[in-house]
Amino acid sequence: MTPLPYRRILLKISGEMLAGSQEYGIHPEILTNLAEEIAEVVGMDVEVALVIGGGNIFRGIAASASGMERASADYMGMLATMLNALALQNALERIDITTRVLSAIEMRQLAEGYIRRRAIRHLEKKRVVIFAAGTGNPYFTTDTAAALRAMEIGADVILKGTKVNGIYDSDPVTNPNATMFKEVTFLEVLNKNLKVMDATAITLCMDNKLPLIVFNLTATGNLKRVVNGEKLGTLVVQTPTQPS
């Protein structure tokens, strides 16, 4: 049996993905499907950590946040990630997947406080760890939180689940002739201003040689295929693995 290329992964999911076709909120069917996809990977004896954005919740209150100072708005966004984390925790535990939510902001009634060693211990015990509230600091995105947590727990890879098949040279939604990259370096992502993750997250991954795979999470079975080592989506690395 061929060994799996990744034994510990961090899956980054945008909050918008949980909304589905809705303008905002959480779509129950998408939540259930996502939980089942994660459960399949857990069944492969892979350690799974998650970071979820809060755009699906915060978008609904963004109008009221207009004109608000950035720090206050960011804290509201952190609370939105907690709502998503608790929703996903519930969906996973309904199908008998043991989870722990670790929050960067203390919320003792809802989640454990984030401690690096505690997170690693949960993963070693095959619990799905959901990181909530970003880094706990304003001015940092959940992309940066994903990169930071992935390095702290010693993840083998960051998997960024999106609604498109990978990274393109332009927006594939508005440009039908957009070209998808099979592989790209972190430096190219920064130089070409490719919309993958924010520059802080990309720089963190580059400096620590942590690979990133951007793939379509909405297609059933894709998460399992990526974890199995299939060449899906776009691989982002420090140095090219393919001849140019």
Tokens of 154: 């010693």
Residue 72 has pLDDT above 90, yes or no: no
- Judge if pTM exceeds 0.85: yes
Return the percentage of the chain with pLDDT > 70, whole number.
95
Domain of 53: which CATH number? 3.40.1160.10
For residue range 140-196, list pLDDT tens digits in order: 999 999 999 999 999 999 999 998 999 998 888 888 889 999 999 999 999 999 988
Number of domains in the chain: 1
Q: Give domain status of residue 244, yes or no.
A: no
Tokens 């709502």 sit on residue: 83
pLDDT at 65: 59
pLDDT (average), residues 74-97? 95
pLDDT (average), residues 65-83? 86
Q: Are 103 and 82 in contact (CB under 8 A)?
A: yes
pLDDT at 64: 57
The domain in which residue 226 lies consists of 8-237
- Of 15-29, 121-135, 222-236, which gets the smallest average pLDDT? 15-29
Positive or negative: CA dihedral 162, 97, 77, 55? positive
Q: Give domain status of residue 3, yes or no.
A: no
Q: Give domain status of residue 93, yes or no.
A: yes
pLDDT (average), residues 218-233? 95
pLDDT (average), residues 198-219? 95
What is the signed CA dihedral for 233, 160, 97, 41, rounded to 10 degrees? 30
pLDDT at 58: 77
The CA distances from residue 158 to 28, 64, 75, 154, in Å, are: 25, 33, 24, 11
Q: Give domain status of residue 209, yes or no.
A: yes
For residue range 118-145, list pLDDT tens digits in order: 999 999 999 999 999 999 999 999 999 9
Q: At what angle do helices 55-65 and 70-94 cross, to 10 degrees?
A: 150
Q: Which residues contact 2 (CB under 8 A, 6 or more apart)?
A: 229
> At 16, which amino acid appears?
E
Distance CA 50, CA 34 (A): 12
